[in-house]
Amino acid sequence: MNYGRIVLAAIAAWIVSIGLGYLINSVWLLHVYQANAWAFRRAEDVTPLLPIGFAAQFVAFVAFAYAYAKGYDGEGSRTLEGLRFGLVVAIMIDGFAIVWNYVTEPIALRLGALQMIEHIGEFGIYGAIVGAIYKPRINQEAHEG
């Protein structure tokens, strides 16, 4: 396993997630969040908590990249394999967490559905990034093949 590439892939996906998260949540879904504003923290209450969120998200990206590397079988396109991996992870997150946001929080069905859809798209992208960057060590790849 190539731990340097795992960390590099995690960093790349994490950086992309910050920009993509801004576009999705502060541009694309802004009006939907505004319509459900009473169910969320105010922006001024979120801002001081952002470092906690970004740090936890980075740790999660390291775990995400590690899980991809652990399951990488070396067949076919790494980017497509990463995309598939990201989609599977998104479906798991949607089923384990996002749908429960709708069930337990007083948000509109539309917001819950859009969050599920955007997670699938986002994690497909993150998986493709991790797949494109992660490469097993040369001697490991020869040993596995």
Q: What per-residue confidence (pLDDT) applies to 73?
A: 81
Residue-range definition of the domain harbouring residue 59: 3-144
Sign of CA dihedral 81, 82, 83, 89: positive
With 0.85 as the threshold, say if the pTM is over it: yes
Q: What per-residue confidence (pLDDT) applies to 75?
A: 81
The structural domain count of the chain equals 1
* DSSP 8-state assignment for residue 95: I
54/72 Cα distance (integer angstroms): 26
Q: How many CB atoms lie within 10 A of CB 2?
A: 17
Q: What per-residue confidence (pLDDT) applies to 74?
A: 80
Q: Please, which residues have CB within 8 angstroms of residue 134's CB and are 6 or more apart in sequence?
A: 2, 5, 6, 9, 65, 68, 69, 72, 78, 82
Question: Which two tokens mark 29?
Answer: 């879904």
- The residue count of the chain comes to 145
**Parts of the chain with a pLDDT under 70:** 139-145
Q: What per-residue confidence (pLDDT) applies to 139?
A: 61
Q: How far is CA 5 from CA 25, 66, 96, 105, in A?
A: 29, 10, 29, 38
Q: What per-residue confidence (pLDDT) applies to 16?
A: 98
